[in-house]
A and B are shown apart, each in its own frame.
Chain A
Amino acid sequence: MNERELRGLIDRVKLGRMSRRGFVRRMAAVGLTAPLAAQLLAYSGVAMAQSKSTYKPTKRGGGGQLKVLWWQGATLLNPHFAVGTKDQDGSRLFYEPLAAWDPDGNLKPKLAAEIPSRENGGLAADGKSVTWKLKQGVTWHDGKPFTADDVVFNWEYAKDPATAAYTIASYKDVTVEKVDQYTVTVKFQKPTPFWADAFIGARGMLIPKHLFADYIGAKSRDAPTNLKPVGTGPYMFKDFKPGDLVTGVINPNYHQANKPYFDSVEMKGGGDAVSAARAVLQTGEFDFAWNMQVEDEILTRLEKGGKGRVAITPGGNIEFLLFNQTDPWTEVDGERSSLKTKHPTLSDPEVRKAIALLVDNKSIQDHIYGRTGPATRNYLYGPERFASKANPIEFNIDKANDILEKAGWKKGSDGIRAKDGKKLKFVYQTSINQPRQKTQAIIKQAAQKAGIDIELKSVTASVFFSSDVANPDTYTKFYTDLEMYTTTMGQPDPGTHCLQFASWEAASKDNKWQGRNITRWQSPEADKLLRDAEVELDPVKRAAIFIKLNDLAIQNHIVMGIVQRPTVSAKSLQLNADISGWDNNTSDLSDWFKDA
């Protein structure tokens, strides 16, 4: 899809000939996230849709206790230090950002009075600033008013490297100015089409200035409020036992009328995913459980318990296969998979093409992941029924054999294809995780039929995903021919995500293997697209660039999607809870309620 087609589509939405939702899905199909699509529309003058509210209760409280189960409990409650989703989800009970992402990728105001747009003057025409109007009359749990000073303070707090906030990336390159008591402006150094990052969603939760002002920078860890949150959220802090329990009681002064519904909330941690699923689906001891990393077969069986159901929320996480572009078996200057080498066999595009034909995404979905892993070939992906026409899923052993035969790879006496004395023998690594080992086996079997010998290797997750420079088995070192893992999409904008394809980001000894380009793909074409995307002010043009980049990487078989990894949670039948794949599980906690 090129820029003209994109503009055509946007015009159709403007004229009302195409639904917003239809547009978002089309964008997802070509590799753009729902939030980015919603922003494209906003930028082109189609205001963001009002998130529809399904909230029914007509008075605050009275809902009893909400019991939720996170099988890895929150370990800290300062949102700026929250590493994983468990900590962010826990902090979100008490803290709120200016706006949250809803499941369709629209912004839903929380502490903001309205979402900035071109019409209301919030978005500058040059793309270099965004102005937020804050909701008035909001108070912190201790009764102090929430004002623009708090917002500015959060920027100062997070951008200071000495504070060591995990949210630093969202704040370090912007400047935040107070306009008046209830207005702030976020200024960017360069035109920024994706403006909804600072103060938004998971990394945008706001902490009170009056309690943290003395603990900025190196003293950040000593703040007593780190352990006893005081926020603006629907529940007030009651008790916290790291890794085990977070409890809250209703905030009687919550800034949204008639909310929240529950009188108290208990977030229990620990245990394992299967028994967490059981506690919600089968015995009904809990109302909600997070991150159900459980085989679909087991979930279906537990659902027969009749107390709850499984909710699947699409996001941007993807399980994918990487083709090493360098030679992992030759050591050059103290490192293998060095940029100075070329892979002896995988550098032949026909070989990569053949391997791609041997990956049976459909079977992997059907027999391993079920509902929890829809098949896809895209790196940036969308819902399966709208999957990109450009990258169809094709599994065809005969065709793979054909391609290899034509490219001159002939079967030897041992049944393994070879050319110029180089055999098609690969080592394929991933972390130890049952579905991954099953996937490996499926691919190995198909490859065998095409005369490719694949040796499987599995590495303990704590080693595979570590950044241990001394260990040869980490995924960033990639000292094998093929590897597979899930990459998480930290934010809706694909900018960082796509650094996987930037030549200057290649993981190597020089950057202690911290580069984001794991395959070490060197493509002037991809580099140009990325450079263009960095400076492209027009979001429509930028979107077209990312679509092209995704197609380039997939069609060259540098990486290849296997299955999507949507967020899977378990909910009791009575619970109404909207889970967004673009924000924390608890981002909409104020609107959760139970049917009577």
Chain B
Amino acid sequence: MIPSLLGISVVLFALLALAPGDPFDELATNPAVPPEVRAALRAKFGLDDPIWMRYWHWLAALLQGDWGFSFVSRMDVSTLIMQRLPVTLIVIGASQFLAIAIALPVGVLAATRPYSLFDQIANTVAFIGFSLPTFFTGLVLILIFSIQLDWLPFVYRADINATGWAFYWEHIKQSIMPVTVLGLFQGAALVRFVRSSVLDVIRLDYVTTARSKGIGERKVITRHVVRTALIPVVTLVALQMPIVFSGAIVTEQIFRVPGIGSLLITSMLSNDTPVVMGVTFVSACLVVIFNLIADILYGWLDPRIAYR
């Protein structure tokens, strides 16, 4: 885990350093700011040092818990990220939860009745679901629910002027669309996967054995089939985390959700390297952590895989 994170950070840093642009570019085109100020700022933020030295400074500071200092906002990167991370985690968490909550029952049901009407409808919807990119479904939802029906707001506001139930209701109302967009996108892919995984397992001999022992169909499915079938699904959920994050970046931009995704985009546009570095690194960490969680889950689902 540590070597992979180190590798990621080197690649990221090199890419950012080689990319065109400079956080203080805007100053160069501004006739009111003399070049001395720009030079002073570059020196102050260490931009004149060679790349390897800047990387070394960054890494050394990171190991001491210092994520760096934003050129643009002039505050600590860690503060910036901590302001944004909870929202992203909530949105991503809720959408993953939604995806699993839809995909599991639908996938299992479709697999137990293959080629039935239900299965065909589920398949078609799933195909449409993962073929449509999130920026498209997001705009469609906005057009329907915000503009035509005027039910839901399409600008996410972190600061809501209400207390008690109204506060939670407002938050839920504004989260519905972003969570749905992400959740359905994920869920659609998962449905197909759960279905095929269950279909694979349901034909195995041990399932037939269980049935012939006289165990009820419901119990056979939940206890014997689903548990085995879930192992590859868990891998998929973990492996799809990067896709969820990239989907979240787009969704956050559309709905103005103040998460790390929108922070990443604004920082990239303003060439705020320390923040870009921080956000991408946090995303990388999250992906690595989710993979670790998947590994642990295997052990619980199938004790044979567990580390001994």
Contact status of A270 and B73, CB under 8 A, knowing A247-B159, A497-B31: no
Q: Tell whether, in the assembled complex, residue B44 and residue A164 are in contact, meaning their CB atoms are under 8 Å apart.
A: yes
Residues of A with C-beta under 8 A to B28 = 466-467, 514
Number of A-B residue pairs with CB-CB distance less than 8 Å in the complex they form: 146
Residues of B with C-beta under 8 A to A243 = 73, 258, 262-263, 266-267
Residues of A with C-beta under 8 A to B295 = none
Interface residue A241 (Cβ < 8 Å from any Cβ of B): yes
Looking across the interface, which residue of chain B has its beta carbon closest to that of A264? B161
Contact status of A467 and B32, CB under 8 A, knowing A73-B266, A271-B253: no
Looking across the interface, which residue of chain B has its beta carbon closest to that of A242? B73
Contact status of A465 and B25, CB under 8 A, knowing A76-B74, A168-B33: yes
Q: Tell whether, in the assembled complex, residue B157 and residue A268 are in contact, meaning their CB atoms are under 8 Å apart.
A: yes
Q: Tell whether, in the assembled complex, residue A166 and residue B157 are in contact, meaning their CB atoms are under 8 Å apart.
A: no
Give complex CA distance A282, B35 in Å.
44
Interface residue B70 (Cβ < 8 Å from any Cβ of A): yes
Q: Write the nearest CB–CB distance from A62 to chain B, whole angstroms.
A: 15
Q: Tell whether, in the assembled complex, residue B36 and residue A467 are in contact, meaning their CB atoms are under 8 Å apart.
A: no
Q: Tell whether, in the assembled complex, residue B70 and residue A467 are in contact, meaning their CB atoms are under 8 Å apart.
A: no
Residues of A with C-beta under 8 A to B26 = 83-84
Q: Tell whether, in the assembled complex, residue A283 and residue B154 are in contact, meaning their CB atoms are under 8 Å apart.
A: yes
Give complex CA distance A49, B258 in Å.
44
Residues of A with C-beta under 8 A to B73 = 75-76, 242-243
User: Interface digits, A458-485 against B, CB 8 Å rule (1 contact, 0 not)?
Assistant: 0000110111100100000000000000
Contact status of A266 and B159, CB under 8 A, knowing A467-B25, A468-B20: yes
Residues of A with C-beta under 8 A to B269 = 462
Interface centre among A83, A239, A490, A491 (most CB of B within 10 A): A83
User: Interface digits, B248-268 against A, CB 8 Å rule (1 contact, 0 not)?
Assistant: 000001101010001100110
Interface residues in A57-105 (C-beta closer than 8 Å to B): 65, 69, 72-73, 75-76, 78, 81, 83-84
Interface stretch, picked from A272-280, A343-351, A378-386, A544-552, is: A272-280
User: Interface digits, A232-244 against B, CB 8 Å rule (1 contact, 0 not)?
Assistant: 0000000101111
Q: Tell whether, in the assembled complex, residue B158 and residue A81 are in contact, meaning their CB atoms are under 8 Å apart.
A: no
The A interface, classified by DSSP as helix, strand, loop or mixed, is loop
Give complex CA distance A285, B73 in Å.
27
Q: Tell whether, in the assembled complex, residue B69 and residue A169 are in contact, meaning their CB atoms are under 8 Å apart.
A: no
Q: Tell whether, in the assembled complex, residue B254 and residue A275 are in contact, meaning their CB atoms are under 8 Å apart.
A: yes
Looking across the interface, which residue of chain B has its beta carbon closest to that of A475? B29
**Chain A interface residue bracket vs B:** 35 or more
Q: Write the nearest CB–CB distance from A497 to chain B, whole angstroms.
A: 7
Residues of B with C-beta under 8 A to A553 = none
Q: Tell whether, in the assembled complex, residue A161 and residue B40 are in contact, meaning their CB atoms are under 8 Å apart.
A: yes
Give complex CA distance A96, B155 in Å.
29
Interface residues in A263-302 (C-beta closer than 8 Å to B): 264, 266, 268-272, 275, 278-279, 282-283, 285-286
Residues of A with C-beta under 8 A to B147 = 278, 282-283
Contact status of A166 and B37, CB under 8 A, knowing A221-B69, A227-B75, A268-B256: yes
Residues of A with C-beta under 8 A to B30 = 83, 166, 490
Give complex CA distance A463, B19 in Å.
10
Interface residue A1 (Cβ < 8 Å from any Cβ of B): no
Give complex CA distance A162, B43 in Å.
10
Interface residues in B236-256 (C-beta closer than 8 Å to A): 253-254, 256
Q: Tell whether, in the assembled complex, residue B155 and residue A465 are in contact, meaning their CB atoms are under 8 Å apart.
A: no
Q: Tell whether, in the assembled complex, residue A168 and residue B158 are in contact, meaning their CB atoms are under 8 Å apart.
A: no
Contact status of A466 and B25, CB under 8 A, knowing A76-B73, A270-B253, A471-B20: yes
Q: Tell whether, in the assembled complex, residue A165 and residue B37 are in contact, meaning their CB atoms are under 8 Å apart.
A: yes
Q: Tell whether, in the assembled complex, residue B37 and residue A78 are in contact, meaning their CB atoms are under 8 Å apart.
A: no
Which one, A172, A245, A462, contacts B258 given CB within 8 A? A245
Residues of B with C-beta under 8 A to A242 = 70, 72-73, 75, 80, 83
Looking across the interface, which residue of chain A has its beta carbon closest to that of B265? A270
Interface residue A557 (Cβ < 8 Å from any Cβ of B): no
Give complex CA distance A84, B270 in Å.
11
Q: Write the nearest CB–CB distance from A593 to chain B, whole angstroms.
A: 19
Which one, A76, A285, A491, contacts B32 given CB within 8 A? A491
Interface residues in B128-168 (C-beta closer than 8 Å to A): 142, 146-147, 150, 153-155, 157-159, 161
Q: Write the nearest CB–CB distance from A366 to chain B, whole angstroms.
A: 29
Residues of B with C-beta under 8 A to A283 = 146-147, 150, 153-154
Looking across the interface, which residue of chain B has its beta carbon closest to that of A500? B31
Contact status of A270 and B256, CB under 8 A, knowing A164-B44, A242-B70: yes
Residues of A with C-beta under 8 A to B83 = 241-242, 244
Q: Write the nearest CB–CB distance from A433 to chain B, whole angstroms.
A: 14
Residues of A with C-beta under 8 A to B74 = 76, 78, 81, 221, 226
25 CB-based A-B contacts, threshold 8 Å? A73-B266, A75-B73, A76-B72, A76-B73, A76-B74, A76-B75, A83-B26, A83-B72, A162-B40, A164-B44, A166-B33, A166-B37, A167-B32, A168-B36, A169-B33, A243-B73, A243-B266, A244-B262, A245-B258, A282-B147, A283-B147, A283-B153, A466-B20, A466-B25, A497-B31
Nearest 6 CB-CB pairs, A to B? A467-B28, A244-B258, A242-B73, A496-B31, A270-B256, A271-B256
Other than A270-B258, A467-B22, give 18 A-B pairs with Cβ distance below 8 A: A69-B155, A73-B266, A78-B74, A162-B40, A164-B40, A166-B27, A242-B83, A244-B83, A244-B256, A247-B159, A268-B256, A270-B256, A270-B262, A271-B253, A462-B21, A467-B25, A490-B31, A496-B32
B interface with A by C-beta (< 8 Å): 20-22, 25-37, 40-41, 44, 69-70, 72-75, 80, 83-84, 142, 146-147, 150, 153-155, 157-159, 161, 253-254, 256, 258, 262-263, 266-267, 269-271
